[in-house]
Amino acid sequence: HCNFGWGGSADGWYSLPSGLPQDLTIVSNGAMNIEGGEVPTDLYGWVNISEVSPIGTYITLEGDHYYETYVDEESGTFEIYAVFDGNYTATAILGDKFYYDQQEVYISPGSNFIQFDMINYEAITGTVTAPISPENCYIDIYQDGELKSSGVTDSEGNFSIPSVLPGDYIAFASTSGNYFDLQEVTISAENQSINFNLEEYPGNIPLSYSKDATGIWSLIPNYTISCGICLIGDGLADLEGDVISKVRFKAPIGHDDGELFAQLWKGNTLISEKEITDFSQGEWIESSFDHFLPIESGNLYYIGYKIFSANGDLIYHDDGPRVEGKGAFIKTGAWAELASSFDFNFCIEAVVISQNFGNISGDVNILGGNGNVQEVAVCTDDYKARPDSEGNYNLDVKPGTYNLNAYLSSYNSSEIIGIIVNNGDEIVDQDFNLTLVNTENSTISSLAILMENYPNPFNPETIISFSLTAKDAKNAKIEIYNMKGQKIKTFSNLQINKSSSNLQINKSSNQQIIWNGTDKNGKSVGSGIYFCKLNINGKNIAFKKMALIK
């Protein structure tokens, strides 16, 4: 700022013109040209508006310099002093964008007047028609990839969305999980309406990176976090123009243990969130988003849910290995991939609706044991289906050639190769018979139930109990991780050895490891949540959450 006063300029004060009264204290509308240079122009203008007062109209000039002012005269006139010559975008807005005008201008001494002819942009209106009821159809209006405004239809399919300014937009209409339309529209003074004709997208293509669910990833009680999978990469090219509309997942908690919200994200921008109001622990849930999102191959998307968990259980996962960069992400601030030490994928399915797809169907038969056919994962590439209670499955896929696999923990996987699918094809009788794994692997699988620790919470030490055959123990280890996924200690000598200071045998013939709350260097770790994993022959068999409280 400049300091005006009666002294000289040596101390930063600029002399006022001679002859002014000695008691002058305020100088307004002053302009100063310091050390020569360009002389600015005073700009004048008028806001032309009918039916409402122009007072409060906000005027801006944006160019090499920035200027702003408000209209405070009922006549609509305004002034902006000392504007440097140049090209500017001149904008006038009144009433939360209801009245608006924008123009490109060149300001100079010979061109220093602007007239704004205000147009009422109070609302964009339109009608949705559809093969089903158009009521509660969601309308989203995007510009340059950013959601600008949205609305919802009434029982007749009519809608009104306020404050959409002139420009080029992409507008979506979506409802009932499988009905969608996209319109490219230019909003202007002459065109302030959008009409939609919804079409059915009958294909429900489930994208997932997990096999069957084998465990639950947990953290501390009373915790809120978002869990998701990431759609990214070359695989999206085949889905260009298809639409993300639903999510499926296995609820890790019951309704009394917390809250669940289905979520759809484009990068770190939340597109749609919908509360799940009725769910039970272990139940597979399908939720249709209110706001759909067409797939563009250059973008990345996160699909999953936000959870508040009173008991700390957050999400079901498979046995891995992790599909890197896709299979397991969490969000507390920005989305981040789960630590690689948790080598599994989240059991989440993103459902993409399509008009260009084929279908593969068949039966899954469980031979022996007590396996649940509804937990079988029928997978090909990144597409996944789950059978119903009778073992019947249906899998919608994009046209292509596929090798189809069926997975269930404790059972041998089964594969059908070279299935060719064209648009509109229905490939039937692709059946699977799943047999129990051999005795050795079956014994290992049953051990997951036997690993426990007591006490829990603990201080200063806890006893981790498990049961292994001598053969399995040679290739087994127990690993301790912190909440960041960092491995802090490994017990690798799990053979029955009475001389071991870590290993004991209790009366029921279970082995026991005593962990005294120290890391691999013998240094005590802090209070918090820790995770214990039992690994045999490189396969994670059991997973246990422990709490150290000091």
Cα–Cα distance, 343 to 379 (Å, whole number): 19
Cα 66 to Cα 264: distance, rounded to the nearest angstrom? 38
**Identity (one letter) of the amino acid at 372?**
N
The angle at the Cα of 481, spanning 477 to 482, to the nearest 5 degrees, equals: 165
Structure tokens at 164: 């959409």
pLDDT of residue 1: 46
pTM over 0.85, yes/no? no
Please, what's the b/e burial string for 270-291 (b: 16 or more CB within 10 A of its CB; e: otherwise)?
A: bbbbbebeebeeeebbebbbbb
Which amino acid, residue 126?
Answer: G
Pairing of strands 392-397, 358-367: antiparallel
Render pLDDT for 304-328 as a digit per residue (tens, 0 to 9): 999 999 999 999 999 999 999 999 9
- Residue 210, CB half-sphere, CA atoms under 13 Å: how many? 30
- Sheet harboring 400-407: ordered strands across? 284-294, 243-250, 348-354, 203-207, 383-385, 377-380, 400-407, 414-421
Residues in the chain, pLDDT under 70? 1-37, 438-450, 495-510
For residue range 111-163, what is the model confidence (pLDDT) as tens digits?
999 999 999 998 999 999 999 999 999 999 999 989 999 999 999 999 999 98
Separation between Cα atoms, residue 33 and residue 433, nearest integer Å: 89
- What phi and psi, each to the nearest 5 degrees, are found at residue 470? -60, -35
Pairing of strands 284-294, 243-250: antiparallel
The per-residue pLDDT for 187 is: 95
Domains of the chain, first to last: 36-119 (2.60.40.1120), 123-200 (2.60.40.1120), 204-435 (2.60.40.1120), 442-548 (2.60.40.1930)
Q: What is the pLDDT of residue 16?
A: 58
Degrees, nearest 5: CA angle 50-55-58:
100
DSSP state of 262: E
Helix (H, G, I), strand (E, B) or coil at 239: helix
pLDDT at 507: 35
Task: Give the model's pLDDT for residue 36.
Answer: 59
CA-based nearest residue to 113, from 90, 94, 95, 146: 90
Nearest to 313 by CA among 409, 214, 217, 430: 217
C-alpha–C-alpha distance, residues 293 and 352, integer Å: 9
Buried b (16+ CB within 10 A) or exposed e, 194-224: bebebeebebbbbbbbbbbbbbbbbeeeebe
pLDDT of residue 369: 87
pLDDT, residue 305, reads: 98
Using an 8 Å Cβ cutoff, are 309 and 253 in contact?
yes
Rounded-to-integer distance, Cα 404 and Cα 518, Å: 46
Q: Report the pLDDT value the prediction gives residue 449, as an integer from 0 to 100.
A: 42
Amino acid at 42: D
